[in-house]
Amino acid sequence: MKIFIERDNKRVRMKFAGRASDLLKKIKINKETVLIIKNNELVDYDEMLSDNDDIKILSVVSGG
């Protein structure tokens, strides 16, 4: 799975299939602070993700 974490401007690759909320737990990101974009579409935190999805984790928190 390709993941882009906006807040850190970081791209990572990892093996994952499961709920979006479980992915966030795995990479230690609080779901209150982000939105999940799967293959360019906004999805809920209980969305099922598969290993070939392209994921963006957008930061919700204002920049200042």
14 contributes a contact to another protein by CB under 8 A: no
Apex 63 CA angle, 62 and 64, nearest 5: 95
Cβ-count burial 20-50 (b if 16+ within 10 Å, e if not):
beebbeeeebeeeebbbbbeeeebeeeeebe
The 15-54 site mask, x for binding another protein (CB under 8 A), equals ---------------xxxxxx-x---xxxx-xx-------
The smaller minimum CB distance to another protein, of residues 15 and 41, is found at 41
Total binding residues toward another protein, as defined by CB under 8 A: 22
The smaller minimum CB distance to another protein, of residues 15 and 32, is found at 32
